[in-house]
Structure 1
Amino acid sequence: MFATFRSQASAYGQIQLQTGVSAGDPHQLVAMLFDGVLSAIAAARGALQRGDIGAKGQHIGKAVRIVEEGLRCALDQERGGELARNLNDVYAYVNLRLTQANLRNDAAALHECQELLAPIREAWMAIRAQQRAAA
């Protein structure tokens, strides 16, 4: 019975994700990437605490892909200037630390990645709030 509920919840999550992506503006899509990477890191930390090394690796792999294929690819290196270069460096460092966390089962490295990404997410969300207030 629990497996059925889990598959239904997963299906609902996929529908919610697909709806968000198809209806989302670029700002919302980047916010979803931040939410996804932070969620994957939290799940990896939980798996590591439970001793589920396979799940830990899957969650870290997901986080790495989101950072590399989502957040880093979304940077506009030409128009973004120094900010884009700095974010690129942070994302590269986060991926390095995620890889090290995976290899070494290092919960502190996972926590460090969350601590690096959370303020960037908050700043991103503040930009959206400012845009809405100005409109």
Structure 2
Amino acid sequence: MRRGALNSYKETKVTTATQSKLIIMLYDEVIKQITIGVEAVKTKKAKDVSHNAFVKSQDCISELMVSLDLEKGGDIAQNLFSLYNYFNRELLEANTSGKIEKALDVQSMMKELRSSWVSISGTTEHETTPDRVGINIAG
């Protein structure tokens, strides 16, 4: 029963969020998954743990890419698209080579972008600080 309540909470959190909050939630999930992937590599856990975490982070970045309106967004949207594309390539490299520095660089840039989204969304850090429930982009 508790698991069902948690899943309901997650679903409600996502379905009632504004577009800005959804974007921030995706950033949070990327940051979280990179942390999981990097820790798995550092502690030499089973390869599938780091692999799955890096793939999940790439999936979230892909969601951010498809959410861009390249026609209305102009240069900003084009630049974000290029940056997200770069992030996915770097995470692929980190995943296949074990070079966690690449993943950490992406994570650092994602934190900066997240901070910018918090600023422009008009919310406070407290309102957007992840409760680590996460989101399920797989449906």
Q: Same fold (TM over 0.5)?
A: yes
The residue identity in structure 1 corresponding to 2:11 is Q
The 5 Å alignment of 1:1-135 reads 14-52=7-45, 53-68=47-62, 70-129=63-122
Provide Cα deviations, 1:1-27, integer angstroms capped at 9, x if missing partner: xxxxxxx98766533321211111111
How far has the Cα of 1:114 moved from its partner? 0.6
Q: Matched residue pairs, number?
A: 122
The whole-number CA distance in structure 2 between the counterparts of 1:21 and 1:32 is 9
Counterpart of 1:95, as a letter, is: N
Pair member with larger Rg: 1
Cα deviations by residue, 1:28-52 (Å, 9 ceiling, x for unpaired): 1111111111111111111111112
TM-score normalized by structure 2?
0.81
What do you get for the CA RMSD once the two structures are aligned?
1.8
1:64 partner SS: helix
For structure 2, the 5+ residue unaligned runs are: 124-139
Q: Whole-Å Cα distance in 1 between the matches of residues 108 and 83 of structure 2? A: 12
Letter of the 2:35 counterpart:
A
Q: How does the TM-score come out when normalised to structure 1?
A: 0.83
Paired amino acid for 2:26: L
RCO higher in structure (CA 8 A, sep ≥6): 2
CA distance in 2, matches of 1:124, 1:12: 29
Q: Does 42-51 or 94-103 show the bigger shift?
A: 42-51
